Amino acid sequence: MSNYGIIGWPLEKTYSPIIQNYLFNMNNLDSKYEPFKIENLTAESVVTLITDLDGFNITIPHKEKILNLDIDFTIDEHVQKIGSTNTVKRTDDKIQLFNTDFEGFILFLKKIGYDLNKKNILILGSGGSSKAIKYALSTHKTKTYVVSRNQTDETISYLNAKELAPEIDLVINTTPVGMSHLSSASLDLDTNQFTNLELFLNIGYGYQSSFFEKFISEFESYDGIGMLICQAVLSFNIWTNLNLQVLDIYDELYKLLESQND
C-alpha cells in the first residue's frame, strides 16, 4: 500500500482526504490519504513523515516554511519561481517539491468562464497561496496588486488598496480571515468602495466571515473548493504518474464534496 497525506495547522477542516481517497479507489490503487496536524514544522518532522509516506500536500502555514528547512530537496522550477510548495513526492532517495496551486487556480477560472484579460486584481494576503496565484496571473494581461499588513517592494498597504478599490475587477482573499478561530476578524478595507467588482474568490472553504458578507451577497463569488479540486487532481497525477484531465472529472468531485454537507 502507498501512503499519502496533508500537513498543516490548525487543519480544522480539509476535504483533501475525501478527494484523494476517492481518486485512489476510482483508479483501483491500493493507497490511502490522511491528515497530519503539525504546528511546528522542522527538518526532523518532515524526514520522519516522508519516511512513512510516498507523498503529501502542504497547507497553511507551511507552504513557504518547508523551503527553509535543512533538507536535500529536488525543487521544481515553478516552486523556485513562486517560493512556495504544496505537493511533496518521494521517489527512491529523492524528495521532490512541486506547486499545483498556480495551475489549479487557472483551471478553476477556466471552469467558471472568467476572462482575466486586462483585469485589475487585488490579492489579499502575501503567503504561499498568494505567491502561487500571483505567479499564475503573471502569464496573463492583468494588473495585479498584493495587499499585506507589512508593505514591501512586492506588496502594497491596505491604505493603498482603499484608494484602488473602485478600479478593481477581481478580489482574491488568501488570508485566514474567516477561519473558525478568526471568524470575527476583519481587514482594514471598506468593502463598499469596490463599486466595479465583478468577482470575489475566497481561497479558503467552510469559512464563516461577516467581513466578506457584502462581497459574497452582492457579487459573483466562489469559495476555495473549486481551486482545491483542480490542484488536488494535479497532485494526484504527480504521485501516480497518471494523467487525469481535471475539467473532465471536476463536476463528479464537486458533487462528492457537496454531499458532505447534506
Residue 60 contacts residue 182 (beta carbons within 8 Å):
no
For the segment 224-249, the average pLDDT, to the nearest whole number, is 98
Is residue 262's pLDDT more than 70? no
Percent of the chain with pLDDT over 90: 85
- Per-residue pLDDT of 66-79, as tens digits, reads 999 999 999 999 99
In this structure, what C-alpha cell is assigned to residue 49?
513523515
Say what the pLDDT of residue 261 is: 65
Among 56, 100, 95, residue whose Cα is nearest residue 79: 100
For the segment 247-257, the average pLDDT, to the nearest whole number, is 97
The residues pairing with 146 across neighbouring beta strands, listed in sequence order, are: 123
Say what the pLDDT of residue 84 is: 97
Q: Is the pTM of this model over 0.85?
A: yes
Higher pLDDT among residues 183 and 32, named by residue: 32
For the chain, the first-to-last Cα distance in angstroms comes to 31
In this structure, what C-alpha cell is assigned to residue 83?
517560493
- Per-residue pLDDT of 110-134, as tens digits, reads 999 999 999 999 999 999 999 999 9
Q: Decide: helix, strand or coil at residue 67.
A: helix
For the segment 49-78, the average pLDDT, to the nearest whole number, is 96
Say what the pLDDT of residue 33 is: 98
Q: Decide: helix, strand or coil at residue 104.
A: helix
Residues 6+ apart with CB under 8 A from 40: none
Residues 6+ apart with CB under 8 A from 205: 13, 15, 223, 224, 225, 228
* Average pLDDT, rounded, for the chain: 94
Say what the pLDDT of residue 177 is: 79
For the segment 226-234, the average pLDDT, to the nearest whole number, is 98
- Per-residue pLDDT of 196-212, as tens digits, reads 999 999 998 876 677 88
Report the 10 Å Cβ neighbour count for 167: 13
Is residue 8's pLDDT more than 70? yes
Instruction: Report how far residue 246's alpha carbon sits from residue 166's, in angstroms, rounded to the nearest whole number.
Output: 34
Instruction: Report how far residue 188's alpha carbon sits from residue 228's, in angstroms, rounded to the nearest whole number.
Output: 27
In this structure, what C-alpha cell is assigned to residue 213?
458578507
Say what the pLDDT of residue 176 is: 84
Is residue 150's pLDDT more than 90? no
